[in-house]
Structure 1
Amino acid sequence: MGVSMREVAAAAGVSVGTVSNVLNSPGKVAESTVARVQAAIDELGFVRNDAARQLRAGRSRSVGLVVLDVGNPFFTDIARAAERRAAEHDLTVLLGTSDDDPARERSYVDAFDEQRVFGLLVSPVGDDLDRLAVIRDRGTPVVLVDRDGSGTGFDSVAVDDVAGGRLAVDHLLSAGRRRIAFVGGPASLRQVHDRLLGARAAVDDVTDASLEIIETPALSVLAGRAVGERVQRRDPADRPDAVFCANDLLAMGMLQALTMLGDVRVPDDVALVGYDDIDFAASAVVALTSVRQPTARIGSTAVDLLLAAVDAGSRRPPENIMFQPTLVVRASTG
């Protein structure tokens, strides 16, 4: 049987309340008393029962984070930034990946809800936010990450993906490219949808430009490579002269197929733009032009919104923060 707080208190010659303060609010206790209690804890081998503590408090010190794909460095960077900010407030981050699957997302959300997490950070797969609304309305704050929550009643932090799509294609058009292809999918993902909207808006402003849409089943290197293999097998006159990929992983896969499996030159024959500006973009065999998102600010801001929601409760209206993307030009567009 484990050592109790009462036994620690007796060994240290203090009250149980003092032991509790040492564990939860050491700043309220004299340093000499903290040292005495800590010595008793170490001697007796006391381990705090967090499960019991969160039952009493009604909320744990863990934050649930559900992302679309933890294998995508974009989401990995967001998770790291969220962890750093959470740690500053004595919170830990529990990470789950939905793999673009609504059922898997629901499973993680339900599991985190059962654990009475401090709050939820979620990059939703689709537009059905009903389950998240139930959790929010019960008092657990929910922040949408990489999704604009305007009009939904949720706090959110996102990047203007319509503007990002326009940035990418305006750049290609300004370089004289006219046969543009957009590569991305599934189309049900809001990020893909919005980046395509921006690409369309840019092409619509140039009378002799065209936009081909090539949908992919995933935002992955393998999906990009498959598209690249098909494009490089086309007759040169039938190929796009520029490709905008919905993320860098797709662009990296396309770059591999175009430059390693065929004789297509990047950017001479096909200019290529990605999205996210992950670390690998700059070190690719042809350095990749990409639309940069401020991943560190997204992750830390999401935690800040969560903390603000906990502090203010239902008295605070939801806050929707939208960052602007920037274009980083490299060799893949000349």
Structure 2
Amino acid sequence: MAHVAHTVGIKDVARQAGVSIGTVSNVINRPDMVARETRERVQAAITALGYVRSESARQLRAGRSRIIALLVLDMANPFFVDVAAGAERAARKAGLGVMLCNSAQSPAEESDYLSLFAEQQVRGVMITPADLTGGTLARFRPRGIPLVFVDRVLGSAEGCSVSVDDVAGGALAARHLVEQGHEGLVYISGPMFLTQCQDRRTGALRALREAGLPESALRHIETERMDVAAGRDAAARLLGMSPRPTAVFCANDLLALGVFQALYNAGVAVPDDIALVGYDDIEFAAAAAVPLTSVRQPARQMGRTAAEMLIEETGEEAAAHEHRQVVLAPELVVRASTLPGRA
């Protein structure tokens, strides 16, 4: 007969330490209630036996999970890494953990992860939606698990959200290029079904109108993804434009870095031949061969704020919680990629 390994339980720890099951429970959940000598004896028994607390059992007893979920569009983008870092800091401060998942901009992946979150009975979900039709979220909402939207604006009745004013951010980028003497520019974006890409273009058009320039002064290249490879592909297209643009605004820094690589390989100088602006101000922006002008988003603050709102909505004072929409201001960080003679 095959040997079946015995799972160490709280009773085994109590027996080893010579204390009651209640005392072991207090050491695990409320250590301040137990005398130091007893606490150390129980901790020694836990270590010796290799006891691991069953989170699922604890969850059943407590009636709530200690895990909140964060579902982002693209974990390859350092912007979302910073969002996750901010969320994790707030969660850890509240004694919670974060389950981080990546939809890869796919509504199907988003749907699968939301089903997983429901199965795991997570405490709540922070999400940057990939399915802008709202279909996956409509199927998830009846589960009764609170949602907070990250990098997306909601109506007050739908839930909490934290975002950056992307229309203002797009205007900052385009206005700066106009002030540098450019009378037209190319906007390189990811898929235009993404609200962020739409809003940044809207802001750029607003800045051009304010400068007395026609909407035709903004040409547009749309890519399927928002990564470095897509930026290189977009650069090949803009180099074939006639007339060739003198300024480019990219919807994120990864696209901008891809554009920069392709321009460099083609012998086109940034900024003397083409000025270049990115968005997000990820760490790599300042470290590029020609430091990149970029619209900074307070990513860590976004993640922290989203987690704090979710914790509030699922905490002891949940009954008094009111949905709110936090919109943060972007900031233009000017570097050498838009300043001729400074590269």
Bucket of the pairwise TM-score, normalised by the shorter protein: over 0.9
Change (3 A) 1:128 1:281: same
1:41 aligns with 2:46: yes
1:215 to 195, 214, 222: 222
The one-letter code of the counterpart of 1:224 is: G
Aligned pair 1:179/2:184, yes or no?
Answer: yes
Q: What's the secondary structure of 2:219's corresponding residue?
A: strand
Match of 1:108 in 2: 113
- Looking at structure 2, the residues matched to 73 and 293 of structure 1 have their Cα atoms a distance apart, in angstroms, of 12
Match of 1:304, SS state, is helix
2:224 equivalent to 1:229: no
SS of the residue 2:28 aligns to: helix
Structure 1 residues not aligned, in runs of 5+: none
Distance in 2 separating the partners of 1:18 and 1:139: 35
2:84 to 79, 82, 87: 79
Confirm whether residue 241 of structure 1 aligns to residue 271 of structure 2.
Answer: no
| Pairing 1:301–2:308 present | no
Q: Is contact 1:126-1:189 (8 Å) kept?
A: no
- After TM superposition, give the deviation of residue 225 of structure 1 in Å: 0.5
SS of corresponding position for 1:196: helix
* Counterpart residue type for residue 11 of structure 1: Q
- Residue by residue over 1:41-69, the C-alpha shift from the partner in whole angstroms, topping out at 9 and shown as x without a partner, is 12222221112222333332112111000
Match of 2:155 among 140, 143, 150: 150
**From 71, 95, 101, the counterpart of 1:96:** 101
Is 1:267 matched with 2:274?
A: no
Identity %: 49
Instruction: Give distance in 1, aligned partners of 2:202 and 2:264.
Output: 29
Q: Partner of 2:145: helix, strand, or coil? A: coil
What CA distance in whole angstroms lies between the structure 1 residues aligned with 2:157 and 2:218? 32
CA offsets 1:160-196 (integer angstroms, 9 cap, x no match): 1111001100111111111111110200001111111
Secondary structure of the residue that 2:302 maps to in structure 1?
helix
Decide whether the 8 Å contact of 2:107 with 2:136 is kept in 1: no
Report the AA paired with residue 296 of structure 2.
R
Q: Which amino acid aligns with 1:115?
A: Q
- Give me the TM-score of the superposition, normalised by structure 1: 0.94
Q: Say whether residues 1:125 and 2:138 are aligned partners.
A: no
What CA distance in whole angstroms lies between the structure 2 residues aligned with 1:226 and 1:278?
Answer: 21
Give per-residue Cα distances to partners, 1:58-100, cap 9 Å, x unaligned: 3321121110000001001111222222222222211111111
Q: Distance in 1 between matches of 2:43 and 2:229?
A: 53
Indicate which of 8, 13, 18 corresponds to 1:3: 8
Letter in 2 for 1:171: H
Residue 205 (structure 2) aligns with: 200
State how far apart, in whole Å, the 2-side matches of 1:224 and 1:67 are: 21
- Post-superposition offset of 1:131: 4.4
Between the aligned partners of 1:42 and 1:208, the Cα distance in structure 2 is: 71
Match of 1:55 in 2: 60
With structure 2 as the length reference, what TM-score do the two structures score? 0.91
Offset at 1:137? 5.4
Are the equivalent residues in 1 in contact too, given 2:156–2:324 (CA < 8 A)?
Answer: no
Q: Distance in 1 between matches of 2:236 and 2:61?
A: 58
Aligned equivalents of 2:12, 2:123: Cα separation in 1: 29
- Counterpart among 19, 24, 28 of residue 23 in structure 1: 28
| CA distance 1:234–1:192, change in 2 (3 Å) | closer
CA contact (8 A) 1:232 1:264 kept: no
Structure 1 residues 208 and 88: alpha-carbon distance in aligned structure 2, compared to 1, 3 A threshold: closer
- 2: CA distance, partners of 1:88 / 1:296: 15
**For residues 130-141 of structure 1, what are the structure 2 equivalents within 5 Å?**
131-132=136-137, 135-136=140-141, 138-141=143-146
- Asked whether the equivalents of residues 2 and 47 of structure 1 are also in contact (C-alpha less than 8 Å), the reply is no
Whole-Å Cα distance in 2 between the matches of residues 152 and 256 of structure 1? Answer: 45
Cα offset, 1:25, TM superposition: 2.0
Moved more, 199-208 or 91-100: 199-208
Gaps of 5+ in 2: 1-5
Assess, with a 3 A threshold, how the Cα gap between structure 1 residues 234 and 190 changes in structure 2: closer, same or farther. closer
2:69–2:117 CA contact under 8 A, matched in 1? yes
* Equivalent pair of 2:110/2:136 in contact (CA under 8 Å): no
CA distance in 1, matches of 2:59, 2:133: 30
* Amino acid corresponding to residue 5 of structure 1 in structure 2: I
Segment of structure 1 superposing worse, 73-82 or 42-51: 42-51
8 Å contact from structure 2 (residues 205, 218) kept in 1 = yes
CA RMSD of superposed structures (Å): 1.7
Q: How many residues align?
A: 331
Give the aligned partner of residue 314 of structure 2: 310
CA distance in 1, matches of 2:133, 2:35: 51
Q: Is the 8 A contact 2:114 2:140 kept in 1?
A: no
Given that 2:106 and 2:131 are in contact with CA atoms closer than 8 Å, whether structure 1 keeps it comes out as no
1:126–1:188 CA contact under 8 A, matched in 2: no
